Structure 1
Amino acid sequence: MKIALVSEHASPLAVAGGVDSGGQNIYVAHVARQLHRLGHQVDVFTRRDRALLPAVSDMDGVRVIHVPAGPPTQLPKEALLPYMPAFADFLVGFCRRERTPYDVMHANFFMSGLAALKVKRVLGTPLVTTFHALGKVRRIHQGADDGFPDARFAIEDDLVRESDVVIAECPQDAADLHEHYGSDPSRVEIVPCGFDTAEFDRMDRAAARAALGWPREQFAVLQLGRLVPRKGIDTVVRALARFRERAGVDAHLYVVGGNADLPNEIATPEIARLRGVAAGCGVAEHVTFVGRRGRAQLREFYGAADVFVTTPWYEPFGITPIEAMACARPVIGSDVGGIRYTVVDGKTGFLVPPRDPDALAERLSRLARDPALAERMGAAGLERVHTSFTWTRVARMLEDVYRGVARAQADERGLAGERDTRDARLAHAERAQAAAGRA
């Protein structure tokens, strides 16, 4: 098949870990590569956010097309909606110029969907949409801090109604689509995110700590991902303070992520806020902000940790928990969204309520007291992700979805052709009968 992936703000070429660079960038990059390995022609359309970018880049055989929409500079995704008409016009023009039409367009995020929907309406290209986050759910949790306009809700309503298939990343995502958008269950497919088996695997903890320069015996807690308030990292900091005080354990929290390789409060304002929380809790010297790290280095961080912790307020899926499980580490995560789906409470780790540092501190204490339990959970997580959450499996599931919508369109076109032929024959017969009557 010829497949177009649209990801307006999340380029597959970006370094993950920044404010607007995270799970969606990783998702698009790995899905594109895996689909290419399955033999498909794959193009990714993403907004041109740097002046010196070429019109087209190559990514392991995948074309990455940098769309001129808005100024060629990095902008927060909340500021991009006014540039989506230009993005959509470019998409339509590009698709018209292609010798071979796309069999399917897969839009990632609502703004990509808005642009791709124009292609569907103008050219009839089947549309698959993954939201990665739903505006109405985001507004419930972030309230006035949500920087997107209310127009997002109507756009998402249109996409749920007009997409050939909407991809939900977990059962909670599917339930939210039905509850808040009235989605048709027959046009919603659950396809999770994944991890790369070549990137993540079990690693000796002592070797990983030696490589990173971490103390050999200290209990190490890892938080990794985008540094934004909704990720709930302040909950982890507060839990660390209570865990150290109540359990008497020499524990240290490592926070990986941000907009710069060196932790920078100007580039990443959330670091300043979290340092203030740590100082207020008396654990400033027990929290290390590592900065942003490339994908090739993350295995060492997962491997060096005793436990991986992620406590967002809400989470459509969450890729980092399955990466940690792929490195055989137990995971403590918020009992929300995709984390509820990937982490099996009591088996591969623990689920805790979001914004509950006491519950998190208690689970940290259990793992610190019982290293054998932590090892068992890590092994169970490793088995679980290899069974259910590899990018290869994700790509094959998406391939099935794409084939389904392409087949349905071909069938519809065939029926339309039959109707046109029948109507032409009827019209010819009516003209002949009228002519005979006149004779």
Structure 2
Amino acid sequence: MTAPRKLAYLVPQFPGQTHIFFWREIQHLERMGIEVHLFSTMPPPPGLISHSWSQQAMERTTYLGTRSVPALLAALPRAPWPELLPEMRRDGSSVAKDALICLPAARRLLAECKKRGITHVHAHSCGRAAMIAALAQRMGGLDYSVTLHGPLQDYGPAQPFKWRGARFATIITQKIHAEMQRDMAADLPPRIRIQAMGVDAETLTRETPYQPPAQGQPVRIFTCARLHFVKGHQDLMDAVKLLRDRGVDVQLQIAGEDDDGGSGYRHVLEQKIKDLDLDGTVTLLGAIDADEVKRRLCQAHLFVLASWAEPLGVAYMEAMSCAVPTIGTDAGGVPELIENGKDGILVPPQNPGAMADAITRLAADPSLLSKLSAAGRQTIIQRFDSRLGAETLAQEIWPE
């Protein structure tokens, strides 16, 4: 009798508003017969719990974070200080801080995996989740792997320590992989797979064909991303103002919330709407669940995201999967997803004028909109379906 395949799946602050990708991948893994055990550092703030599946996810997640002094004291003797000391000399006191925060979590992860018969943990982040997995490997031999979802500098100190002990890693773009080969070649695990985040193309599909805006009809624009200045919502608002001044009738809906559950950057955007006199034209929807995102996408004529930097962009994938013509920025890994003029349009980041020009052009060209609609959907089916990520993990953890 074949032993059940069990996987510890470690995601920081799960389930967050952008974590639909993880939930889809988990579902694909479970369809493959893999028993997925969810772990996280901590639950998200209440204002960011937005999905219909969030409560279900939290109920089955083991949260490892603790401020217990006895738990820290129990973990300290097993800490791999000789290996961490060079990291501290290079990266400073932040290494010690992260290690002390993560040691009790690593000790608990080890205990839980032993109790449940789990031999491999996949850390879906190279921040503290990867630190917890790396410490657990040094403290008790737990096999682990990591996924890098963005530029390495976004994920904190002690990166060589996190990567050296991993059995394999996945990296979401060729661009980030090249940077890792340049900066960390000596510490990379023996197996690296380039595997993008993906979306469930079978679920994210239209019930009726895409229709460009009719003459005299407002152009309905939708965007979905957390409310943060790097997502460029303020630039998109400036573009909408330019369009209104040109006589182009547009309506913009923005789904997403700030990292403080609505008490942070949202206020900046609310003030900008007032300053630009865009009340009634721009609507902040807050955090909405996946079903509502799909419904809004299928009502939209255009999906536009004006990010200053985007490692790749699941939001773009969701729009393209729903056959919504998509405008993005030529930043980060987005050109590995969108080929300008073929399956979407790319404009320079932080350039509201270029964004307004692109929207004006598409609004006046129904045939181009229809072409981008069909081509975007095909790109997702062929290269960015979430089953591919699940298959990659299974192939690496349990090779034939």
**What band does the TM-score fall into relative to the shorter chain?**
0.7 to 0.9
8 A contact 2:258–2:266 mirrored in 1? no
Counterpart of 2:385? 390
Q: Is the 8 A contact 1:205 1:303 kept in 2?
A: no
CA contact (8 A) 1:238 1:277 kept: no
* Partner in structure 1 of residue 300 of structure 2: 305
| 2:161 alignment partner, SS class | helix
- In 1: Cα distance, 2:43 partner to 2:393 partner: 28
Cα deviations across residues 305-339 of structure 1 (Å, max 9, x unaligned)? Answer: 11111122212221111110111111111112332
Q: How does 1:27-426 map to 2 (within 5 A)?
A: 27-49=21-43, 63-70=60-67, 81=98, 83-98=101-116, 100-102=117-119, 104-109=120-125, 110-136=127-153, 138=154, 152-154=156-158, 156-182=159-185, 184=188, 187-204=191-208, 217-246=217-246, 248-258=247-257, 267-404=262-399
Partner Cα distance (2:192, 2:210) in 1? 45
Give 1:45 deviation, angstroms: 0.5
Question: What is the rounded CA distance, in whole Å, between the counterparts of 2:332 and 2:121 in structure 1?
Answer: 26
Aligned equivalents of 2:297, 2:228: Cα separation in 1: 20
Deviation at 1:128, TM superposition (A): 1.1
Task: Give the CA deviation at 1:206.
Answer: 9.2
Partner Cα distance (1:319, 1:345) in 2: 17
Residue-pair matches, total: 356
- Cα deviation digits, residues 78-122 of structure 1 (max 9, x gap): xx9563222112112222333x242x2110222111001122223
- Say whether the 8 Å CA contact 1:255–1:289 is kept in structure 2: yes
Q: Secondary structure at the match of 1:196?
A: coil
More helix by share: 1
Given that residues 41 and 65 in structure 2 are in contact (C-alpha distance below 8 angstroms), is that contact kept between their aligned partners in structure 1? yes
Deviations 1:173-205 (A, max 9, x none): 212322343464853211111112343112448
SS of the residue 1:337 aligns to? coil
CA distance in 1, matches of 2:137, 2:242: 54
- Cα deviation, residue 360, structure 1: 0.9
Q: Which runs of 5+ in 1 are unaligned?
A: 17-21, 52-56, 72-79, 139-147, 210-215, 408-439
Q: For 1:88, what is the secondary structure of its paired residue?
A: helix
1:196/1:206 Cα in 2 relative to 1: closer, same or farther (>3 Å)? closer
Q: Distance in 2 between matches of 1:197 and 1:176?
A: 30
Where 1:114 maps in the other structure, the secondary structure is: helix
CA distance, structure 2, for counterparts of residue 295 and residue 189 of structure 1: 28
Q: 1:401 to 1:254 in 2, by over 3 A?
A: same
Looking at structure 2, the residues matched to 206 and 329 of structure 1 have their Cα atoms a distance apart, in angstroms, of: 7
Counterpart residue type for residue 67 of structure 1: L
Task: Mark the CA change 1:316 to 1:58 in structure 2 (over 3 Å): closer, same or farther.
Answer: same
1:376-434, CA deviations, whole angstroms, 9 ceiling, x for partnerless residues?
A: 10111111111111122221122112225xx8xxxxxxxxxxxxxxxxxxxxxxxxxxx
Structure 2: which 5+ residue stretches go unaligned? 46-53, 69-96
Q: Per-residue CA shift, 1:23-65, capped at 9, x if unaligned?
A: xx223222222111101111111134389xxxxx9959x9522
What is the letter of the counterpart of residue 92 of structure 1?
A: L
Name the counterpart of 1:429. none
Q: Secondary structure at the match of 2:226?
A: coil
RMSD: 3.2
Is the CA contact 1:191–1:398 (under 8 Å) kept in the aligned structure 2? no
Using the alignment, how far apart are the partners of 1:308 and 1:240 within structure 2?
13
Asked whether the 8 Å contact 1:170–1:337 carries over to 2, the reply is: no
TM-score by length of structure 1 reads: 0.73
Matched, 1:7 2:24: no
**Residues 227 and 265, structure 2, Cα contact 8 Å, conserved in 1:** yes
The alignment-based identity, stated in percent, is 24
Distance change (3 Å), C-alpha of 1:87 and 1:185: closer
Q: Which has the larger radius of gyration?
A: 1
Alignment check: 8 A CA contact 1:205 1:305 kept: no
Q: Give the conservation status (yes or no) of the 8 Å contact 2:166–2:189.
A: no
Query: Any conservation in 2 of the 1:233–1:310 contact (CA below 8 Å)?
Result: yes
Structure 1 counterpart SS, 2:157: helix
Q: 3-state SS of the aligned residue for 2:138?
A: helix
Which letter maps to 1:390? Answer: D
Q: In the TM superposition, what is the alpha-carbon distance from 1:363 to its structure 2 partner?
A: 0.8
Distance 1:273 1:50, change over 3 A: closer
